[in-house]
Amino acid sequence: MRQFVYISTAAHDVSNDDVAKILESSQRNNPDRGITGFLIFNGRNFLQLVEGSEEALLSLMNQLARDSRHSGIVRLEDIPIGTRTCEDWAMTRLRLIDPVNERRADLDAVLPVSLAPSVRRTILNFAALN
Ligand SMILES: Cc1cc2nc3c(=O)[nH]c(=O)nc-3n(C[C@H](O)[C@H](O)[C@H](O)COP(=O)(O)O)c2cc1C
């Protein structure tokens, strides 16, 4: 199994409703594909962690590249994993709190404990961007 983390730029008109629809699709489709993970939206950018077989992830990434709700996908992490870190999350949204200086600690507390330290750092750095 592999784990990818990518960031992307949301289309300018993406709203919280759109994010809710993305979550609905993901939760409907991901169980059949054996994909788990989470999605963070900061109002301008997405960060998504996805984990599963390499084949399933590459096929999802191909599909995501054609989704007009975002663009400029950059993969930040691509690591082999023995066990899932988000096994109960078909796809869950992790929310960022205000003020921004409290975000890191807040997110750190909800990120899965078994996340690789380097992956955790990448995600926390994204969360601190304003
Ligand atoms: C940032 C972002 C993340 C997404 N993540 C997933 C995902 O994990 N799984 C998924 O099936 N679709 C995801 N989608 C949506 C897909 O691009 C696509 O719209 C959807 O899978 C279509 O399925 P549906 O016809 O069942 O709605 C994501 C879209 C965006 C913009």
- pLDDT per position as a tens digit, 35-57: 999 999 999 999 999 999 999 99
Give the separation between CA 74 and CA 31, rounded to whole angstroms.
24
Handedness of CA 95, 97, 100, 101 (dihedral sign): negative
User: For a substitution probing ligand 1, which of 7, 14, 18, 29 has the most ligand atoms within 8 Å of its CB?
Assistant: 29
pLDDT of residue 124: 96
User: For a substitution probing ligand 1, which of 63, 68, 69, 94 has the most ligand atoms within 8 Å of its CB?
Assistant: 63
2-127: which CATH architecture?
Answer: 2-Layer Sandwich (3.30)
Q: Is the C-beta atom of 48 inside 6 A of ligand 1? A: yes
Tell me, in angstroms, the distance from the centre of ligand 1 to residue 45's CA: 15
- Domain limits of the chain? 2-127
Tokens of 26: 């993901």
pTM of the model: 0.97
* Cα atoms found within 13 Å of the Cα of residue 43, Cβ hemisphere only: 7
pLDDT of residue 130: 75
User: For a substitution probing ligand 1, which of 25, 47, 49, 92 has the most ligand atoms within 8 Å of its CB?
Assistant: 25
pLDDT of residue 68: 98
CB 59 within 8 A of CB 47: no
For the chain, 130 residues long, give each residue's pLDDT as a single digit of tens.
999 999 999 999 999 999 999 999 999 999 999 999 999 999 999 999 999 999 999 999 999 999 999 999 999 999 999 999 999 999 999 999 999 999 999 999 999 999 999 999 999 999 999 7
CB 50 within 8 A of CB 57: yes
Q: Is the C-beta atom of 28 inside 6 A of ligand 1? A: yes
